[in-house]
Structures are given as structure tokens and as C-alpha cells.
Amino acid sequence: KQEVTQIPAALSVPEGENLVLNCSFTDSAIYNLQWFRQDPGKGLTSLLLIQSSQREQTSGRLNASLDKSSGRSTLYIAASQPGDSATYLCAVPDDMRFGAGTRLTVKP
């Protein structure tokens, strides 16, 4: 059964810093991985879907990479802003298993 782990559990950075969030999964036989953002008390917002045939996917200041062989994905956030403060979650198919998330705080 697929297990997903996210490190770190929480991260606090000053505004403007670049940062990396990590997601590890145990079963490398995946065909995509999706990153989400969740604001307190809200549902999840899709950020990026990275397919197994891709090594990277970019959307604005976000860049996600996927290394199936090592069972890892990273989400890179450039020039962080206070509005980026949220919990970031990754999920893998087929039944969309989630990690516990990384709670990000960007301080002005």
C-alpha cells in the first residue's frame, strides 16, 4: 500500500526566500503526482499535476519535479510571499493517497 511522507512538517521563512518542499512515496509505479495547497478551514486547491513522463512542471513561481526511481517529488517556490502561507500537500494515484502536508508560513 502506497505511503506518502512530507518533510518538513512546518516551515517558516522570511518573505522573498526561495524554498523547497519534499514529498516521498513508497511505490514508484505511479503515473502522476499532484501538489495541492490548503488554506485553513478550506478545501484543497490544485497547484500542479506532474506526469510520470515529465521530470518537471512549472506554474508561475512554482516548480515541481518528480523522480520516480527514488520515490521523490519536490515543490520549489521562488521569491516567497506572505500570501503563499498555507499547507502544501502532495498526493499520488490511483486512490489519491496524501501526505500529512507541510505548513508554510512566510513572514513579511
Q: Binding to other proteins by residue 57, rule CB under 8 A?
A: no
Q: Binding to other proteins by residue 42, rule CB under 8 A?
A: yes
Q: Which of 44, 68, 74, 76 binds other proteins (CB under 8 A)?
A: 44
Count interface residues toward other proteins (CB under 8 A). 23
For residue 32, what is the enclosing H or E element?
strand 32-38
3-state secondary structure of 82: helix
Q: Binding to other proteins by residue 91, rule CB under 8 A?
A: yes
How far is the C-alpha of 106 from the C-alpha of 86, rounded, in Å?
A: 9
**What is the smallest separation between the CB atom of 4 and other proteins, expressed in angstroms?**
8
How far is the C-alpha of 55 from the C-alpha of 68, rounded, in Å?
A: 9
The site for other proteins (CB under 8 A) is made up of: 6, 31-32, 34, 36, 41-46, 49, 51, 89, 91, 93, 95-101
